[in-house]
C-alpha cells in the first residue's frame, strides 16, 4: 500500500512537530554545526522545513532563512516561530535562479514524488558552486525504494557533486503507537515491509511491541548526510 505523504503531513502536522521531529535531533545538531561554518549573513533556503526547527537553528547563527514546505499546517507553525516561510512544493520552488546562497533539506528527499526534479530545483535556486546539504534515512531513496538507484546516483542525476558524506546514528525510545508508526514511516527506506503495510497494520504491530516492551520501544535510527555542490 502506498502512503499519501502529502495528506499524511496535512493530517498529522501537530503530532509530527511535537512528538516525532524531536526524535531526529541528531540531524538537527549536524545542520546547526554546518550553519555555524557558513559565511556571515548567508541566505539559506530550507526545503521541506516541517515546523521550522532547523530554520530557527540556522537563523540563530545569524543567517537569513527562507523556509518552505508543501504542508500548510507545518508552514503555519514555522511562520509562528518568526521564520520567513513559503508554502510551496519542492518540485517547483517559487524562487528566482541563483537567488539563495545555500540550501538544506532535512529528511525530506525520501518523501518527494520525483526526487531528481526536486534536486534540480534546489540546484537552480542556489546557483553554481554553492552548497546543498541533504539528510536522508540511511540507505533510503524514498519513493524509489523499490528501485536499485541509490541516493548518491540520484544526486548525480540532478547534476550535483558530493563534496562530503557522513553517517549519523541515534537510538530513541518511543512510548505511543502514533509516534512509533510515524518514525517507521520516516524510516521507510530501510524496511521494505513497512512500505507495503497499511497504517492500520503498522498500528497493530506497534501495539504488540509496546505491550511486549512494557510501554516503550527502542528504535535505532541511521541517517546519511550529503554535502553537495551545484555544478
Q: pLDDT by residue (tens digit) across 124-178?
A: 999 899 999 999 988 655 443 444 568 888 999 999 999 999 999 999 999 999 8
The CA–CA distances, whole Å, from 42 to 3, 62, 88, 108, 200 equal 36, 8, 21, 22, 44
CA angle 26, 43, 116 (to 5 degrees): 65
- The pLDDT score that the predictor gives to residue 187 is 67
The CA–CA distances, whole Å, from 6 to 9, 13, 60, 115, 127 equal 6, 11, 29, 14, 28
Q: Which residues contact 38 (CB under 8 A, 6 or more apart)?
A: 44, 61, 63, 101, 102
Q: pLDDT by residue (tens digit) across 45-83?
A: 999 999 999 999 999 999 999 999 998 888 988 888 778
Q: What values do phi and psi take at 30, rounded to 5?
A: -65, -45
Can you read off the three cell numbers belonging to residue 5?
A: 505523504
Q: How many beta carbons lie within 10 A of that of residue 33, not counting itself? A: 11
Predicted confidence band of residue 30 (pLDDT cuts 50, 70, 90): very high
Cβ atoms of residues 134 and 116 within 8 Å = no
Determine which helix (DSSP H) or strand (DSSP E) holds 222, and give its type and residue range.
strand 217-230
Q: What is the DSSP string of 8-38?
A: HHHHTHHHIIIIIGGGGHHHHHHHHHHHHTS
43 strand-pairing partners: 64
- The pLDDT score that the predictor gives to residue 146 is 43
Predicted confidence band of residue 181 (pLDDT cuts 50, 70, 90): confident
Q: What is the pTM of this model?
A: 0.86
pLDDT at 26 over 50: yes
Q: CATH topology for 5-170+222-230? A: Rossmann fold (3.40.50)
Percent of the chain predicted with pLDDT > 90: 52
- The pLDDT score that the predictor gives to residue 102 is 98
Amino acid at each position: 500500500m502506498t502512503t499519501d505523504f502529502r495528506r499524511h503531513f496535512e493530517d498529522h502536522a501537530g503530532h509530527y512537530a511535537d512528538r516525532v521531529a524531536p526524535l531526529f535531533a541528531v540531524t538537527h545538531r549536524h545542520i546547526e554545526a554546518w550553519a555555524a561554518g557558513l559565511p556571515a549573513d548567508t541566505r539559506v533556503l530550507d526545503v521541506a522545513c516541517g515546523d521550522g526547527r532547523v530554520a530557527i537553528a540556522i537563523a540563530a547563527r545569524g543567517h537569513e532563512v527562507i523556509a518552505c514546505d508543501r504542508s500548510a499546517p507545518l508552514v503555519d507553525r514555522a511562520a509562528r516561530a518568526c521564520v520567513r516561510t513559503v508554502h510551496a512544493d519542492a518540485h517547483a520552488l517559487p524562487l528566482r535562479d541563483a537567488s539563495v546562497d545555500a540550501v538544506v533539506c532535512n529528511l525530506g528527499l525520501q518523501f518527494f514524488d520525483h526526487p531528481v526534479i526536486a534536486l534540480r530545483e534546489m540546484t537552480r535556486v542556489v546557483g553554481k558552486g554553492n552548497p546543498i546539504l541533504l539528510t536522508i534515512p540511511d540507505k533510503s531513496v524514498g519513493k524509489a525504494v523499490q528501485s536499485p538507484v541509490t541516493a548518491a546516483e540520484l544526486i548525480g542525476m540532478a547534476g550535483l557533486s558530493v563534496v562530503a558524506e557522513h553517517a549519523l546514528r541515534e537510538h530513541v525510545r518511543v512510548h505511543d503507537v502514533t509516534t512509533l508508526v510515524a518514525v517507521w514511516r520516516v524510516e521507510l527506506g530501510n524496511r521494505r515491509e513497512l512500505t507495503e503495510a497499511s497504517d492500520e497494520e503498522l498500528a497493530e504491530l506497534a501495539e504488540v511491541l509496546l505491550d511486549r516492551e512494557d510501554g516503550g520501544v527502542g528504535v535505532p535510527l541511521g541517517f546519511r548526510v550529503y554535502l553537495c555542490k551545484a555544478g
